[in-house]
Chain A
Amino acid sequence: MDTLVDVLLLALSAVLINNLVLKYFVGICPFLGVSRRVDMAFGMGMAVTFVITIAATLSWAFTEFVLRPGAPISTAVWQAVNPDSTAIVDLSMLKYIVYIFVIAGSVQLVEMYVRKFFPPLYKSFGVFLPLITTNCAILFACLMIGSAKHIGVDATEPWGLGYALVYAIGGGLGFTVAISIMAGIREELDLCDVPKCLKGVGIALIVAGILSLAFMGFTGVDKGLGKLLR
């Protein structure tokens, strides 16, 4: 029961309270670039959710088995080379390079899959699909999962795969929610009389500010709900 509540709260916190875009400012480029039409925005959000899930799983596995201090695979390799050594192997310095490799690989995979099985979707994404590699939201989620300290949730030791997956999917859904709301507002904005100098990105940023103000209203909901449910 407690685990279920934990998972529920973690998902809620990732989707609404600690929204990747509106609280941590990651993934701003697609948030401003692909938010002109709702269907495109929703597709982009789904693609990001998909990539974030794959990349988070892979980077969790790399952190757990290779990169963290005393990880099984790196220790085994080290001891095969130096049988007498008792040193603890710590490769965590390499994590940025490994994560970015993992993300680039998963984006390539998704691109190939979408091109083969959903050609119309592939055409409508165009240049944005490869650009997911440089979407900071994905690297941010991988870093959160790989580090021992987690924002919004008290955790003293690294997460298990289950929590990591919940966080990744929740983060991706939060991105989808934010970008879809934004696209809906911007479709209406096209009909409004915006001052010339604010047209385009300027007014989009101001709308995002108001949206982020609205999302701040969720702050503390997870703590209260947790007290109620436990």
Chain B
Amino acid sequence: MPQKLPTAGERFLNGILPENPVYRQLLGMCPTLAVTGAMAPAMTMVGATAFVLICASIIVSLIRPLLKPHLRILVFTLTIATFVTIADRFLAAYMWNMSKTLGPYVPLIIVNCLIICRCEVCGSKQGVVTAISDAVGQSLGFCVALASIASVREILGSGTWFGLQVLSVHSEENPGGWFEPWSVMVLAPGAFLTLGLLLGLVNWYADRRKTAAAQAN
């Protein structure tokens, strides 16, 4: 073996912050930008993605001795597509309004590079336990990333958080309100700007930590 692969515990912890799927690996950008206009759809998306990621990792890890190199990606995609169909049917059956809000972004989980990448990096090389802990860790990291972006966008864009009033929004019923919602935040440009700035913040913090560690040595 050329290099030692990380253990289950390392995989789990790495997924949350050091190898955060969105901020550090830049994976799964489409849902990150598209569904973070408010907290509720973002968290539903995280749930669906986590379900697909965990199930697909288990299956890929179980069949890894049978995988042929040139058919690998096709097998991954078909496994993922099956679980996405299940998640989509479930959302349509029990959360009809949410399923309509998310629209085509639920089937687009199939081509979320996060899932294919984790299947390739971890699922197809390591055992089931490691694959599950990696999938759970990455899902938590995805959750942290989407929650941070959706919080910024929902609070600044509509003055609410999970639909609860946070800032006193100025309107006809509430003339004393001081906050004018930045409607651009819930529209497409707000998504790009928020993610760009948060990414800069994370990089800045990581850089500072690295310099501090270098100085301490």
Q: Which residue of A lies closest to B82 (CB)?
A: A97
- Residue of B84, B111, B187, B193 near A216 (CB, 8 A) is B187
Residues of B within 8 Å of A197, CB to CB, are 200-201, 203-204, 207
Residues of A within 8 Å of B33, CB to CB, are 25, 28
B interface secondary structure, majority: helix
Per-position binary interface string of chain B over residues 118-140, scored 1 when its CB falls under 8 Å from any chain A CB and 0 otherwise = 00000000000000000000000
- Residue of A93, A147, A201, A208 near B85 (CB, 8 A) is A93
Residues of A within 8 Å of B187, CB to CB, are 216
Our count of residue pairs bridging A and B at CB distance below 8 angstroms stands at: 115
A104 vs B82: C-alpha distance when bound (angstroms): 16
Residues of B within 8 Å of A218, CB to CB, are none
**Once the chains bind, are B108 and A136 in contact (CB under 8 Å)?**
yes
A interface secondary structure, majority: helix
**Once the chains bind, are B113 and A29 in contact (CB under 8 Å)?**
yes
Given contacts A22-B188, A201-B26, A209-B193, are A139 and B199 in contact (CB under 8 A)?
A: no
Q: Which residue of A lies closest to B74 (CB)?
A: A104
Which residues of B are interface residues toward A (Cβ below 8 A)?
A: 26, 29-30, 33-34, 73-74, 77-78, 81-82, 84-85, 88-89, 104, 107-108, 110-113, 116, 184, 187-193, 195-197, 199-201, 203-204, 207
Residues of A within 8 Å of B200, CB to CB, are 195, 197-198, 202
* Shortest beta-carbon distance from B68 to chain A in Å: 15
In this complex, which of B189, B193, B197 has the most chain A Cβ atoms within 10 angstroms of its Cβ?
B189
* Shortest beta-carbon distance from B28 to chain A in Å: 9
Chain A residues within 8 Å of chain B by Cβ, number: 42
A35 contacts partner chain B, Cβ-Cβ < 8 Å: no
Given contacts A22-B188, A25-B34, A205-B192, are A136 and B207 in contact (CB under 8 A)?
A: no
**Once the chains bind, are B29 and A209 in contact (CB under 8 Å)?**
no
- Residue of B88, B113, B188 near A25 (CB, 8 A) is B188
**Once the chains bind, are A209 and B74 in contact (CB under 8 Å)?**
no
* Shortest beta-carbon distance from A104 to chain B in Å: 6
5 nearest A-B pairs in the assembled complex, by CB-CB distance: A209-B192, A205-B196, A197-B204, A209-B193, A206-B196
Residues of B within 8 Å of A135, CB to CB, are 111
**Once the chains bind, are A24 and B34 in contact (CB under 8 Å)?**
yes
A143 vs B89: C-alpha distance when bound (angstroms): 16
Residues of B within 8 Å of A201, CB to CB, are 26, 196, 199
Q: Which residue of A lies closest to B208 (CB)?
A: A197
A23 contacts partner chain B, Cβ-Cβ < 8 Å: yes
Q: Which residue of B lies closest to A33 (CB)?
A: B26
In this complex, which of B112, B184, B203 has the most chain A Cβ atoms within 10 angstroms of its Cβ?
B203
In this complex, which of B29, B73, B88, B190 has the most chain A Cβ atoms within 10 angstroms of its Cβ?
B29
**Once the chains bind, are B111 and A96 in contact (CB under 8 Å)?**
no
**Once the chains bind, are B34 and A216 in contact (CB under 8 Å)?**
no
Q: Please provide the chain A residues from 196 to 230 with a CB less than 8 Å away from any CB of chain B in the complex.
A: 196-198, 201-206, 208-210, 212-213, 216
Given contacts A104-B74, A139-B110, A202-B196, 18 further A-B contacts (CB under 8 A): A25-B29, A25-B30, A26-B34, A93-B85, A133-B111, A134-B111, A134-B113, A136-B112, A197-B204, A198-B200, A201-B199, A202-B199, A206-B192, A208-B192, A209-B191, A209-B192, A209-B193, A212-B192
Given contacts A96-B81, A197-B207, A212-B188, are A32 and B29 in contact (CB under 8 A)?
A: yes
Residues of A within 8 Å of B113, CB to CB, are 29, 134
**Once the chains bind, are B88 and A96 in contact (CB under 8 Å)?**
yes
A29 vs B30: C-alpha distance when bound (angstroms): 8
